[in-house]
Structures are given as C-alpha cells and as structure tokens.
Amino acid sequence: MDYASLSATMEFQNYILESQQLAGFDPATLDSREAQLAFWINLYNILAIHCVELLGVSSSVSEENGFFDHQACSIGGLAYSLNDIEYGILRGNIRKPNRVWKQFRKWDPRVRLSLDPPEPRVGFALVRAARSSPPLRFCQAEQIEGQLHRAAVDFIGNGGVIIDREKGTMSVSRIFRDYSRDFGGDQGVMRFIADHLESPDDAGCLRSRAGKLKVQFQEFNWALNRAI
C-alpha cells in the first residue's frame, strides 16, 4: 500500500468529506446482514488506512499506542474505533484477548449493532495495515457471500495454511488461533480449512489426518504494509 500517494488523491480527499456525513447516519437502518457486513468491513479498512496517515505510522501499527482503540470515527453521534468494529460488531461483541470484559458493556447503545452469530470470515477481509493482513478488498452487500468465500480461499492458498504431507506438519496463520471461537473451536477451524483448500490432495490429507498433523501457528508480521 502506497499510503502517501493514496492520501494525496482526490478520491481520498472526497472520502474524508463524505465520511463526515456518517455523523448523521444511523447504522441500525441497514436492513440486512449482508449490508451490515459490507458496511462495517469497508469502514474498518478505510479507517485503518486513514489512521496510518493521520498518526504518521512509519514502521508498525503495533508500536503506535492506541491505534486500534483510540482512533475512531463518528457514526450517528457515537464513536467507533477499529476494535469496536471488529470485536464489538463483526465478532458479536466478544472480549478482546487479555481483557476481562466484552468490547461493549450491556448498557452501551452500540451493543444493539453486534452481529449474532458473528461472521468468522471477516478475519480474511479486515486490513490491519500489517504485512500479515489480507489484501484490501471492497465489499458489496449483494455479493458479500461470494466475496468472503473468495477472501478465505485466497488467504489460505497464499500462505495462510501450508501443509507438508511428507513431514506431517501444518503451518497455520495466527488468525485461525485468534478466531478459533468464531469457527466453533479447533475442530471447526480444521473443517473450515479443509472446505476452503483448493488442493484436493491437501484437503484430503487434512480430513484424514487432522488429529495427527503437527500444527504450528505462524507469527503475525505487524510491520507496516507500505509499498517499497
């Protein structure tokens, strides 16, 4: 991502102006789950891109204090951070790792927007401005099912899951560990991966040897995905 060039475009400047109109928009008026998914995924991604330039991030978003919690946009008179969108809405209002409470407390008016059940495939569509993040996509409500399926297949096929049948090992993106609950636990993760592997041999190996493969989780690369 060439953040500097992007932020200098007329399209990005129009985004800044148009996003200000969200202050008067009630997201509860989105009339379908598909529309909600597309809206919040797109908003998360453009907000992440905006925050990189807004904060002047140069190396890693993980080193920028409050990147995911404190930088927020105003929608319908309420503030939404990146973590609010991911954990509070798209993931059904779960607690962030190492936190004892859910993202939205029960009296928070934003809790009404939480998706139930959560959509586990958003992990392959959210751009966290890091090299281990999935590529940027634009989601559309009428095509969201196919787009999320394609995002999962592409992510798994491009290094998110690597099966070595001879060594009996399986290298898996940390996203599957972090989202394990959304997939229904470890067995749910394995079923999901098997259903989204494009290689029939890998899929067959996983289904027949799931409990015997040695699983290793890949380290998440938080380095900024800035174009070189």
Domain segments of the chain: what residues?
3-145, 150-217
Rounded (5°) CA angle 5-136-190: 155
CB atoms within 10 A of CB 11: 7
pLDDT of residue 53: 81
Residues 6+ away with beta carbon under 8 Å from 93: 87, 102, 103, 104, 111, 114
pLDDT of residue 228: 61
Structure token pair of residue 24: 């008067």
pLDDT of residue 54: 79
pLDDT of residue 93: 93
pLDDT of residue 139: 96
pLDDT along the chain (228 residues), means of 10: 85 85 93 96 91 82 78 90 95 85 93 93 92 91 97 95 92 92 90 94 90 89 81
How far is the C-alpha of 5 from the C-alpha of 2, rounded, in Å?
Answer: 6
Residues 6+ away with beta carbon under 8 Å from 19: 46, 73
By residue count, the chain amounts to 228
Strands 214-217 and 78-81: unpaired
